[in-house]
Amino acid sequence: MDLKCRRVWFQVLNELPRFLPFLLSVCIYFVLAPQSSCPLWIKALLKCLPNLFLCTYIWAPGINMYTQAKARKLLAGLLFSAAGDIFRTLSTQLYHLHSVSMFGLAYVCYIWMFGLKPVNLLAGLYLAIIGAVYLLFLTRCLWDQNSFQWAAFIYIGAGGTMAWRACAGILFIQSWSWLKLSAAIGGLLLVVSDFTYTVSAWCFPVSNSTMIAATYYTGQMLIALSAVNPQKLVGRNKR
């Protein structure tokens, strides 16, 4: 293992203790939420709690919320995601549009956080082709859901744009960094989680709901890791 890889692993190990509250809350969600005796409001709380703990990661020592713009955008995205978790857990027809709106706003915050440089149109075209196939597939499931169809398409467009901006710094580019790789994997995992959930909700049931939650929380954690990193650790990784 070369010196650079050792520094990267040292950086990851230094970050893990700050993620412990998040990881513990995810474990508690997987254990308690599937229980049929668990009240609905408890499930909603357990669902949004990991994202709230990721917000505490942003406030950790070494991060200045007033000078680091990415931290503020990430915080807004996590809070919108937590609100979306609550509405989605309530799982009534009334709240479908509410949850889609909250998660859509979270995607907008992440797009804003990732920025527009580099543009990387080739990566955008590649992901747009995959998104078009997904839309054609989903259209058949939402054919009779006229009131929800257009909102779903706008939401999918926001998710696809977020994935493009997350991958723009690494896809089809020779030079990359571990932070950009973390952003790319995190953004793609969020899209995979949303794809699986949407198919399960509107097309046919997906029995493995654990996979939906696992990809969702892993994606959020990797995005948080890529966007907010103590300057000392970044500097150590560059040297």
Within a 13 Å sphere around the CA of 180, how many CA atoms are in the beta-carbon half?
A: 16
pTM (2 d.p.): 0.87
Biggest CA–CA distance in the chain, Å, is: 58
Per-domain residue ranges of the chain: 3-238
pLDDT for the residue 226: 84
Confidence of residue 145 (pLDDT cuts 50, 70, 90): low
Confidence of residue 152 (pLDDT cuts 50, 70, 90): confident
Provide DSSP, the chain.
Answer: --HHHHHHHHHHHHHGGGGHHHHHHHHHHHHHTT-TTS-HHHHHHHHHHHHHHHHHHHTSTT--TTT-HHHHHHHHHHHHHHHHHHHHHH--GGGHHHHHHHHHHHHHHHHHHH-S-S--HHHHHHHHHHHHHHHHHHHHHTTT-HHHHHHHHHHHHHHHHHHHHHHTTTTT-S---HHHHHHHHHHHHHHHHHHHHHHHHHTS--S-HHHHHHHHHHHHHHHHHHH---HHHHHHHH-
Average pLDDT for the chain: 83
Q: How far apart are CA 66 and CA 197, in angstroms?
A: 36
**Which phi and psi (to 5°) does residue 54 adopt?**
-65, -30
Q: Between residues 209 and 55, which one has the greater pLDDT?
A: 55
Contact 32, 38 (CB under 8 A): yes
Q: Report the share of the chain in percent with pLDDT over 90.
A: 43
Query: Is the pLDDT at 221 greater than 80, yes or no?
Result: yes
Listed range (139-148, 173-182, 187-196, 225-234) with the worst mean pLDDT: 225-234
pLDDT digits (tens, 9 = 90+) for 172-195: 887 777 888 889 999 999 999 998
Confidence of residue 108 (pLDDT cuts 50, 70, 90): very high
Helical packing angle, 178-202 and 121-141, nearest 10° = 10
Query: Is the pLDDT at 213 greater than 80, yes or no?
Result: yes
> If you average pLDDT over residues 116-142, what whole number do you get?
88
pLDDT for the residue 239: 41
